[in-house]
Amino acid sequence: MKSHFLCLLVLLLLLTACSSNKNASYDKSHSEELAEKNARNIPLIDRIRKMPGITLRNGVPHFLRNSTQFFDSGTEPLYVLNGTVMGNSFQSINQLVDSFNVKRIQTIAGSDAAEYGSRGGNGVIKITTYQ
């Protein structure tokens, strides 16, 4: 009789442990999904501004040369949307892209931007969307 009771008790403990793990994984995936949806509601300018090495000047993103200086020219960085070079105008890219559709934003500066030639001399902001 005691062995049946102990087996039943162990079985209940195992079921309880398994069910709590399922709830934890559900809560985690649900919270990650909610965080992703909320991130999509942030305006594009704010998402770009939060990238390292980016600051706003006259309401437009610009790369910092180092911690105390801006690039010498007033030219904006080059914008690349889904692999296509779009030009150096934030206003144009902002009209083309809905912020909730942005999958990823990458910033490229210095010698890494050399593949874009002189147009990427002030840095490159690559935007990838959910096509």
Compute CA distances 97 → 50, 73, 100, whole Å: 17, 26, 9
pLDDT at 40 (0 to 100): 60
- Regarding whether 97 and 56 lie in a shared domain, the answer is yes
- Regarding whether 72 and 30 lie in a shared domain, the answer is no
Task: Identify which of 54, 33, 60 has the alpha carbon closest to the alpha carbon of residue 105.
Answer: 54
- Regarding whether 124 and 61 lie in a shared domain, the answer is yes
- Regarding whether 35 and 53 lie in a shared domain, the answer is no
pLDDT in tens, 101-123: 999 999 999 889 999 998 999 99
pLDDT at 64 (0 to 100): 86
Which is more confident, 36 or 82? 82
**Tokens encoding 107:** 């910033």
Expressed as residue numbers, the domain containing 76 is 43-129
- Regarding whether 47 and 36 lie in a shared domain, the answer is no
- Regarding whether 32 and 66 lie in a shared domain, the answer is no
* Total structural domains within the chain: 2
pLDDT in tens, 53-96: 999 998 999 998 654 444 445 679 999 999 999 999 999 999 99
Q: Please, is 122 exposed, middle or buried when counting C-beta atoms within 10 Å of its C-beta (0-12, 13-18, 19+)?
A: buried
